[in-house]
Amino acid sequence: MKYYPHPILAKEGWPFIIISLFISLLIYHLSNFWLALPLFIVSIFIIQFFRDPKREIPSQPNVVLSPADGKIICIEETEDVYQNNRALKISVFMNVFNVHSNRCPVDGEVVDLQYYSGKFLNADFDKASTENERNAMVIKLPTGDKITVVQVAGLIARRILCYVQKGQTLTRGQRYGFIRFGSRVDIYLPLDAKPLVTIGQKVFATETILAKLES
């Protein structure tokens, strides 16, 4: 896969942006500005949803970066069902006003990918982690530790996009996927990882450090 950097507007949004602007301009041309205004507002919303800004990548060693923009809604010890072990889980909830481009939180090799079809519950619910449509990516770090990053569909989100393949090497901050229209990302870390965020904290993909690894 060719490395996909930061194009300001995500490639996934161009069909929606073009169609919405075309319809808005068509109504404006055939009728008047006031009738077309609601459609222009919708177009503006779509453009802001698909923004994909460049981010600064922290250089500290042994840290885990946020894979998504949003709000921290969960920090707990739980079962990582994708690796069948206990783990520290940190969840980031994305609303429709957040950037929805997903970025790799660490340097490492993709050793497993698991996709599950499922429901489309509100991604803010805890059970969304295990019942909603989701795509899990297990990454092996150079230290030998493994973490799991899970894209979870939400109430409105109906499309999870993941562009990586098993065996591929990723770098921290690298764009690897996208979830359309509201969702969450769960990240499962070794139990000795030290969380550096709190419940309710606003985080930014790549720029916010979620945790520090001991090894």
3-state secondary structure at position 30: helix
Domain-embedded: residue 57: no
Are 34 and 105 contained in the same domain? no
Per the structure, the count of domains in the chain is 2
Cβ pair 131, 122 in contact under 8 A: no
Residue with tokens 């301009």: 25
Domain-embedded: residue 164: yes
Q: What is residue 51's predicted lDDT score, i.e. its pLDDT?
A: 86
Q: What is residue 13's predicted lDDT score, i.e. its pLDDT?
A: 79
Return the minimum-mean-pLDDT range out of 39-43, 89-93, 107-111, 130-134: 130-134
The domain that holds 123 is classified in CATH as 2.70.70.10
| CB contact set of 59 (below 8 Å; sequence gap of 6+) | none
Are 73 and 18 contained in the same domain? no
Q: Is the pLDDT of residue 181 over 90?
A: no
Residue with tokens 């981010």: 55
Are 92 and 173 contained in the same domain? yes
Range of the domain at 161: 63-212
In Å, what is the CA distance from 20 to each residue of 25, 27, 39, 166?
Answer: 9, 11, 7, 36
3-state secondary structure at position 15: helix
Which residue of the set 24, 31, 183, 215 is catalytic?
Answer: 183
Are 48 and 90 contained in the same domain? no
Are 77 and 48 contained in the same domain? no
Q: What is residue 2's predicted lDDT score, i.e. its pLDDT?
A: 43
Supply φ then ψ for residue 22, to 5 degrees: -65, -45
Are 170 and 79 contained in the same domain? yes
> What digits encode the pLDDT tens for the residues 94-113?
888 888 889 999 999 999 99
SS3 helix, strand, coil % of the chain, rounded to 5? 20, 40, 45
Are 194 and 126 contained in the same domain? yes
> What digits encode the pLDDT tens for the residues 139-160?
999 999 999 999 998 766 567 8
3-state secondary structure at position 39: helix
Q: Is the pLDDT of residue 120 over 90?
A: no
If you compute the radius of gyration of the chain from its CA atoms, what whole number of angstroms results? 18
Q: What is residue 12's predicted lDDT score, i.e. its pLDDT?
A: 81
> What digits encode the pLDDT tens for the residues 55-108?
889 989 999 999 999 999 999 999 999 999 999 999 999 888 888 889 999 999
Are 118 and 160 contained in the same domain? yes
Domain-embedded: residue 73: yes
Q: What is residue 124's predicted lDDT score, i.e. its pLDDT?
A: 62
Are 47 and 148 contained in the same domain? no
pLDDT class of 203 with cuts at 50, 70, 90: very high
For this structure, is 183 an active site residue?
yes
Global pTM value: 0.85
Are 101 and 175 contained in the same domain? yes
Are 106 and 43 contained in the same domain? no
pLDDT class of 3 with cuts at 50, 70, 90: very low
Cα(183)–Cα(155) distance, rounded to whole angstroms? Answer: 7
Q: Is the pLDDT of residue 1 over 70?
A: no
- Looking at per-residue pLDDT, the higher value among 182 and 40 belongs to 40
3-state secondary structure at position 55: coil
